[in-house]
Amino acid sequence: MKKGVVFDIQRFTIHDGPGIRTEVFLKGCPLRCLWCSNPESINPRPELGVFKNRCIGLDKCGKCVNVCPYSALIVSEDKVVGKDKSRCMECLKCVEVCPSNGLVAFGRVMTVKDVVDELERDKPFYEKSGGGVTVSGGDPLVQDEFALEILKECKKRGLHTCLETEGYAGWSKIEKLLPYVDIMLYDIKCMNSSKHKEYTGVGNGLILENVKKIASRNMPLVIRIPIVPGYTDSIENVDETSKFIRDQLGHTVKQVQLLPYHALARRKYEALGLEYGLMSIEYPTKEHVMGLVERMRSSRLPAVMGAYSEIEEK
């Protein structure tokens, strides 16, 4: 049975599709969004994360340092504080012996059966709430064959399916998934292609062409727009996105979600040894996001504000 790399399975989610859902997150993403909230999803392979504040100290433990065959752990003041990327081979032997969850594996190899068996556990909740399964990432198109088999097996077991994607892939990868998807959650981050490339590493031409093709197949769509202050929150971007949705996607769009930026992933960046580039920007206010929502509604679009977080990760 086909295998893939999963970095999380979240139960009882309510924001990524209708009803109560279980969401499977596949590793791998072709974009490099400045505001990415799941940096552990970018690399398609399992990788080591180091949460230095959880380390109990080498004087009390030290198992990880002893078991690492590559001397890849960075130690400071008797604690493991990071990994040497030039040495670490992501063997994850250190994770197996860490007693404090200071060393974690971002990603695990699973079979399709492993994944869907876990998803099916919550079927009674799906049936009562009109929910189901959401396949997300990263972007599941990076592991398109694995995503396809998960979706096929979900449909065999009578589960409602959502697929969340940014749509940056060849059309053939998307087209083969459509018969097994009930609703598509589709990210449109910025309508200006040069800015899109600056913010995410790629232009948006392929993304916009793919969503038009999806709409032509009458696939129900939920369009998701991140509202990032100074990047995607301008009236110009919202108006251009509204026009594109209205003129190109039409009745297939069931909802437009404006997702307020947050910085709750900063600890994960640190754990992966990555720099988080948006430390200095503020969260958008509810009033500002709702103003953009109302502007889209005035264009006869079914816009809503996504989940808003006022919690700063300490």
What is the percentage of the chain residues whose pLDDT exceeds 90? 91
The pTM assigned to this predicted structure is: 0.92
What is the percentage of the chain residues whose pLDDT exceeds 70? 98
- Please state the domain extents for the chain: 3-44+112-305, 47-106
What pLDDT is attached to residue 21? 96
- What's the rounded Cα separation, in Å, for the pair 282 and 223? 24
pLDDT band at 174 (very low <50, low <70, confident <90, very high): very high
Token pair belonging to 202: 């790629």
What pLDDT is attached to residue 280? 81
The chain-wide mean pLDDT, for the chain, equals 94
Does residue 313 have a pLDDT over 50? no
**Statement: 3-44+112-305 belongs to CATH 3.40.50.300:** no
- Contacts for 67 with CB less than 8 Å, ≥ 6 apart: 93, 94, 96, 97
Q: Nearest Cα to 174, choosing from 196, 206, 203?
A: 206
∠64-70-274 over CA atoms, to 5°? 80
| Fold classification of 47-106 (topology level) | Alpha-Beta Plaits (3.30.70)
- Segment 69-85, tens digit of pLDDT: 999 999 999 999 999 99
∠157-160-165 over CA atoms, to 5°? 120
Segment (H or E) for 261:
none
What pLDDT is attached to residue 311? 45
State mean pLDDT over 275-283. Answer: 85
Tell me which DSSP letter residue 203 carries. -
Cis peptide, bond prior to residue 138, ω within 30 of zero: yes
Segment (H or E) for 257:
strand 253-260
